[in-house]
Each structure stands twice: as C-alpha cells, then as structure tokens.
Amino acid sequence: MGRTTANWLDFLGRVEAWVDPAVERVYAVLDNLSTHTAVEVLLFNLAHPRWEFVFQPKYAAYLNLIEPWWKVLRSLALKGRPFDAWAEIEQAVEQATAYWNAHKHPFIWGRRRRHRAPKRFGVAALSKVALI
C-alpha cells in the first residue's frame, strides 16, 4: 500500500470516528484519483456499509469545485517560485488567499466556456431576404 493510500485511509478512519454513529449514510464524493479506488479503500468501503463512494465522471474536472481554486492558488502563490522551506510555502498560500478574498469573484460552475468571435459575414454574403 502506498503512502498516499495510507493517508487517505487514515483520513477516512478519522471521519468515520467523527461522524455520529446514528447517521445512517455517509456519502463521499470523489474524483478518479487512483488512491480513491485502491483495493484497501474498497475494503474500507465493504467494512463500513453506511459509506457510499460517489465518483464524478471521468474527464469532468469541471464538476469538482476545488479544481478552480487549485488553479488560482497555483497561479497566485506557487507558479515560478522556488521555496527553501515549508514556512515559505505556507506564507505564499496565506498571502494568495488573502489577496483572493480581498478581490472576490464568483466561480461559475460548469464546462469551460470557450470564447468564440461572433460570425461576421463578408460583403458577398446574401441577405436572408435574397434566400427566400
């Protein structure tokens, strides 16, 4: 078992201990990271029948609302910057978050909208009247 899978299982175990036993269903909405589908994770799921893993469709990262934030965070805090210590990374993330919160813009959920120039007809284009 890899370290990432072990960390994920540890996290699931902590959530399981935290959630009130009276709760009948626990839904975990996941992307398709291989860690989320490891054999050990599926065994956790079998051992904890109240858990239901719901996977987002492949090639649908736009459904995962954390993805736009990672993109912003990378561009504001991490891109092109060398770091010598973890404290420098923490400081860069805190500064980027403070900047983002001071300049709020809502996220628009859904597929990326590609900007397309409107079609412009040339001089030789026929009018709608001429086509009738």
Same-domain status, 41 and 71:
no
pLDDT digit string, tens, across residues 83-129: 898 899 999 999 988 988 898 777 666 555 565 666 666 565 555 55
| Confidence label for 18 from pLDDT (cuts 50, 70 and 90) | very high
Same-domain status, 69 and 45:
no
Q: Is residue 114 part of a domain?
A: no
Q: Is residue 7 part of a domain?
A: yes
Q: What is the pLDDT of residue 118?
A: 62
Q: Is residue 127 part of a domain?
A: no
Same-domain status, 45 and 81:
no
Place of tokens 């990374």: 89
Structure tokens that stand for 65 in this block? 């609302």
Most confident of 16-20, 32-36, 59-63, 75-79: 16-20
Closest to 17 in 3D by CA, of 35, 44, 43, 36: 44
Integer Rg of the chain from CA: 23
Domain count, the chain: 2
pLDDT digit string, tens, across residues 51-60: 999 888 877 7
Mean per-residue pLDDT of the chain: 81
Same-domain status, 46 and 26:
yes
Question: Which helix (H) or strand (E) element contains residue 95?
Answer: helix 86-102
Same-domain status, 49 and 69:
no
As a dihedral over the C-alpha atoms of residue 122, residue 127, residue 130, residue 132, rounded to 10 degrees, the angle is 130
- Alpha-carbon distance of 29 to 40, in angstroms, equals 18
Query: Is-above-0.85 flag for pTM?
Result: no
Q: Is residue 31 part of a domain?
A: yes
Q: Is residue 51 part of a domain?
A: yes
Q: Is residue 116 part of a domain?
A: no
Q: What is the pLDDT of residue 34?
A: 78
- Alpha-carbon distance of 68 to 70, in angstroms, equals 5
Same-domain status, 46 and 67:
no
Confidence check: pLDDT of 27 > 90? yes
Same-domain status, 69 and 41:
no
How large a percentage of the chain has pLDDT more than 70? 77
Q: Is residue 34 part of a domain?
A: yes
Q: Is residue 69 part of a domain?
A: yes
Same-domain status, 17 and 45:
yes
- Range of 47's domain? 3-55
How large a percentage of the chain has pLDDT more than 90? 27
Instruction: List, in sequence order, the alpha helices (H) in 28-127.
Output: 39-47, 66-73, 86-102
